[in-house]
Structure 1
């Protein structure tokens, strides 16, 4: 609440990543429950007739069961439940987070569920893969917001620790990130660790705490490279990042259309 990002609507998956490489993470939240064709929305009914009547003790309650039964019946009749909710994207500016959902292009109202970030173009910036309940069920967003800011990437491989280095703590000039497995709701981000350096051309001090407890240091390291780090090995493999990927100007815009409708579909044998 102190950061002003508590209003995420009906949120499923949320995480913070430095998409624009200014060493201040942005926050993305997938939103929306069930979008149908009938109004009004069942959001108020859910809180008044289901949540408010939840039993204090874990015992059967007629009023609670009736609330759920009514809610499910309304859904079968085509009512929305927290429907038409766009995803939320918060960007840190002037010491506080601000809502950049609309200008980012990430505010699609597809009943968002999960998302994963990874570098699809090899340029060191994080792209975003979005999974939603409605179609298109998968959207891929190429990162175009990092401009010419510098970045540095680390790929860790454990020896005494687990091979994927899950649980490792990586600190770069005061920024701290962790290698994790399982990210948000039914999703997994890249296990490579990305750091934005803004206009700095190198990382002065890098410290890795491996799950085994081993502390490993390096630096200064030039920006614009991916460094492959093996646990306990002071020799780092240095791989240059690709030039920043830029879309051509003649890419056609996709018109959003979230109205539910039925279509004939064929399943094909592989």
Structure 2
């Protein structure tokens, strides 16, 4: 839920030898060294820390409204992004977590949200090379100014917001009680400028850096079912005596699968009676590839070769 780049204390002070964890991309970063020693760069592994939402009080203070919003999940959030999932003019929130559930969608149900317009940008660069004449195809870096009466709103299309996240490339711009925006102006990274006249509330306007005319669409609200019934899953029975089992996916050519072996070996030593299994996901691989992998890397888990075991897992993953 945050970027650690502004924290004063970014590194662990416990003196942990992080080499025992192996390489776990996206979870533990051991590439940084201080005085020649690897440093564990990660935070908030304690879990059950609810997410926070703060309401800006006119730029003077913030009020904690976490519980009121319903966003105070305990799932150890990592990254979130805004997008209008049901196209009702209200930004919804999609959240990824370290633990289950790994993906959560929060539907915005605030009452009387006001009106909004949507702006989609198309940059003029038609190649895969950097252009000094035209802006990037996605329009990243462009500034959009919206005139509403005596007010002017400014929005910037960014490639990243917060920790490892990017909001929707369709800018949803609230215009309050106004039924239209008087003018929309785009300042492109190339230095060019595009101007559009009146845009009605609820419209989606696509502005192309190379084209003078704009495309305007009426957006219909998506019909979202009130209740989604999840399919019943078969129980996975590995027919083993362990109370706790860990199943990882495996492709012998996968660098992450190879890099996580050191961590799994450490885990198997620390957790008594732990069952470790690998589920092969590359249909082109067979006994020959698995044997070579076992000889080369000596993984601590059992590769699920048998048809019955694989069938149970495949049924669970469908």
TM-score (norm: length of structure 1) = 0.62
Partner of 2:87: 122
Gaps of 5+ in 2: 5-10, 16-32, 125-133, 230-242, 248-311
Partner of 1:240: 218
**Are 1:216 and 1:232, in contact at CA under 8 Å, matched by a contact in 2?**
no
1:189 and 2:154 correspond: no
Partner of 2:35: 59
> Structure 2: how far apart are the matches of 1:107 and 1:13?
18
* Counterpart mapping for 1:247-258 below 5 A: 248=226
- CA gap 1:188/1:163 in 2 versus in 1, 3 angstroms: same
Residue of 169, 175, 194 corresponding to 2:143: 169
**Are 1:121 and 1:242, in contact at CA under 8 Å, matched by a contact in 2?**
no
- CA gap 1:82/1:213 in 2 versus in 1, 3 angstroms: same
**Are 1:121 and 1:245, in contact at CA under 8 Å, matched by a contact in 2?**
yes
**Are 1:155 and 1:229, in contact at CA under 8 Å, matched by a contact in 2?**
yes
- CA gap 1:210/1:267 in 2 versus in 1, 3 angstroms: farther
**Are 1:110 and 1:135, in contact at CA under 8 Å, matched by a contact in 2?**
yes
Q: Secondary structure at the match of 2:71?
A: coil
How far off is 1:48 after superposition? 7.2
Q: Secondary structure at the match of 1:156?
A: strand
**Are 2:90 and 2:113, in contact at CA under 8 Å, matched by a contact in 1?**
no
- CA gap 1:97/1:246 in 2 versus in 1, 3 angstroms: farther
How far off is 1:89 after superposition? 1.1
Deviations 1:112-155 (A, max 9, x none): 10112222222332221111111111111112126351001100
- CA gap 1:58/1:170 in 2 versus in 1, 3 angstroms: same
Residue of 48, 64, 73 corresponding to 1:108: 73
Q: Secondary structure at the match of 1:163?
A: coil
- CA gap 1:245/1:93 in 2 versus in 1, 3 angstroms: farther
> Structure 2: how far apart are the matches of 1:108 and 1:155?
31
- CA gap 1:179/1:162 in 2 versus in 1, 3 angstroms: same
> Structure 1: how far apart are the matches of 2:166 and 2:313?
28
> Structure 1: how far apart are the matches of 2:98 and 2:108?
23
**Are 2:86 and 2:224, in contact at CA under 8 Å, matched by a contact in 1?**
no
Partner of 1:219: 197
> Structure 2: how far apart are the matches of 1:227 and 1:262?
53
- CA gap 1:208/1:131 in 2 versus in 1, 3 angstroms: same
Gaps of 5+ in 1: 1-10, 15-45, 51-56, 73-79, 253-260
* Rg larger in structure: 2
- CA gap 1:207/1:201 in 2 versus in 1, 3 angstroms: same
Q: Secondary structure at the match of 1:102?
A: helix
> Structure 1: how far apart are the matches of 2:67 and 2:55?
12
